[in-house]
Structure 1
Amino acid sequence: MTSTVKVWDRPVRLFHWSLAGSVALCWLTADELHSLHEVAGYAAAGLIGLRLVLGLAGTRYARFSQFIRSPKRTLRYASDTLHHKEPRYLGHNPLGAAMVVALLMMVGGIALTGWMQTTDTYWGIEWVAQMHETLAKLLLVAIALHVAGVIHASFRHHENLVLAMITGRKRAPASGDVS
């Protein structure tokens, strides 16, 4: 049996799947069921706040300082990936880290512009509504890229990353892996 190590703690896993569910619910209720759409949006906003706390004060692999890399290092990792020479990361790889940041910013922006539309100041303001919709559409593209990246990394490194985000466990690091 392959040795495994704990990488994703329960709060990170609950955040991940709860945010996925909140975003899906927001998408499904965007044109109807406005009260449910708002509740799901506020839940997503609260989850973003939780993830920011975990990113600053969470466990090792939850912390932003552990996985956010410089643009240069991220581009080098992207090049290595294109040439099938990328190392396996125990936590987020540099492209995964960039996606985490992008997704957090997009969902945060969607939540902010959604909330703005409920205020007297911004209710009915076209640019706010347009920004909300544009970010939501861009989020779908980012989610598709995220899923594609997970599938790619799962095949390249012979591990089920979806299962790892459910159980919190990944294969123990081997020589050449980045932990």
Structure 2
Amino acid sequence: MHDPIQKWSDEPGSSQQNRTSSRWHCALPASVRAKVWDGPTRLFHWLLVILLAISWWSHPMHMDWHRDSGLAILALIIFRCIWGFAGATTARFKHFLRGPEAIARYLGQLWNRDPVKHVGHNPLGGWSVALMLAGLSTQVVSGLFSVDIDGLESGPLSDRVDFETGRWFAVVHGLSFTFLEILIGTHLCAVSFYLLYKRTNLVTPMVSGWSRLPAHPNVHFARPVVAAAAAVFASACAWWVSTGLRW
């Protein structure tokens, strides 16, 4: 099917119209709609949001919920670590953990108001993901060994350490959650900055998986069976931890 604008501009005696049409076409930003985020990465992201909210709400009055949400977060962390090597291009650590030079270039263009079209995480956002995973790991592992002041509420691995060590893990558990709150707040500020200042919506692509980019990205996606195997393995590990590492 012919482009009606192109057909109109090709009519005889319409040279002025041709020039106007050409200028109009040149002014249009070239872009393509492409898939950049796979389903497992998006599911990980939104499940983590829900589970962190449950963990915050459930402490200290609903410790059964708190313990279960923590174990579910453990499964997500294990899955994400696997997916950082076996997942789609944009989910892999080697794709978004960039060096100082890339970060410096990114920071040099930070205040440019043109919409930014990174394929996946930007250089600074990639390291925020690494920090988030490190903070989550500290939070979950410390919770597994934690003991409350009365010794009544304890993590599933608390019997592997003495009471004083369990109390130390409880302190780390509280401090690491404060660290996570700072990271989450920074993340929300960055998303708002991109939306309001740089006119780039980061939320919609993390929901739909699709984004508009200047050119089609070279993104490869893993087979669903790989994601299923990683999810089963991560869930089995979390279940084993919930038993106190007992068979």
TM-score by length of 2: 0.65
1:7 corresponds to 2:48: no
Once the two structures are superposed, what CA deviation does each residue of 1:11-57 show, in whole Å capped at 9, x if it has no partner?
A: 00000000111111111112111010010001111101111111111
Matched, 1:164 2:193: no
**Amino acid of the structure 2 residue aligned with 1:134:** L
Q: Who is 1:128 aligned against?
A: 169
Distance 1:172 1:36, change over 3 A: same
In structure 2, what is the Cα distance between the partners aligned to 1:133 and 1:71?
Answer: 32
Aligned residue type for 2:130? V
Is the aligned partner of 1:91 residue 2:120?
Answer: yes
Pairing partner for 1:103 from 132, 136, 140: 132
Partner-residue secondary structure (3-state), 1:92: coil
Partner residue, 2:109: 80
Match of 1:171, SS? strand
Cα RMSD (Å): 2.5
SS of residue paired to 2:144: helix
Secondary structure of the 2:34 match is strand
Q: TM-score, normalised by structure 1?
A: 0.88
> In structure 2, what is the equivalent of residue 137 of structure 1?
178
> Does the 8 Å CA contact 2:36/2:90 hold for their aligned counterparts?
yes
Q: Give the stretch that moved more between structures: 65-74 or 46-55.
A: 65-74
Deviation at 1:83, TM superposition (A): 6.0
- Structure number with larger C-alpha Rg: 2
